[in-house]
Amino acid sequence: MINWEGIRSALYPIRDYEDLSRRWREGFAYRFVVKSYNYSIIEMADYTARLLGGDARNRYAGWAADLIRIFQQLDQHGVKNILGLVEQVDTQESFEGFCLQTGMDPEEVINVLKYLVYWFIPMKKYLSELVKKDPQYAAVIDPLRQAGIRYNLDLIEQGITPDARRALAAQVSVDEAQITRLVNWADFSRMPWASAATISNIVGAGYGSIAKLAAADLEQVKSDFFRYGDSIHKNLKFGNEIESSHRIAKIVPKVLIE
Contact between residue 32 and residue 121 where contact means Cβ atoms under 8 Å apart: no
3-state secondary structure of 81: strand
Summarised one tens digit per residue, pLDDT across range 62-75 is 999 999 999 999 99
3-state secondary structure of 251: coil
Give pLDDT, residue 137: 80
Separation of alpha carbons 41 and 47, rounded Å: 10
Other CB atoms within a 10 A radius of the CB of residue 149 amount to 23
Question: CA angle, 91 as apex, 86 and 87 as ends, to 5°?
Answer: 25
Give pLDDT, residue 57: 85
Contact between residue 163 and residue 99 where contact means Cβ atoms under 8 Å apart: no
255: nearest Cα among 177, 165, 190:
190
Separation of alpha carbons 95 and 237, rounded Å: 42
Running along the chain, 258 residues long, what does each successive block of 10 average in pLDDT?
Answer: 88 95 97 98 98 91 97 98 98 96 96 97 93 78 95 98 98 96 96 89 94 95 90 74 88 96
Virtual torsion, Cα 19, 78, 103, 84, nearest 10 deg:
10
Contact between residue 170 and residue 192 where contact means Cβ atoms under 8 Å apart: no
3-state secondary structure of 151: strand
Separation of alpha carbons 123 and 120, rounded Å: 9
Q: How far apart are the first and last CA of the chain?
A: 51
**pTM of the predicted protein model:** 0.94
3-state secondary structure of 40: strand
| Residue 149 C-alpha from the chain's centroid | 19
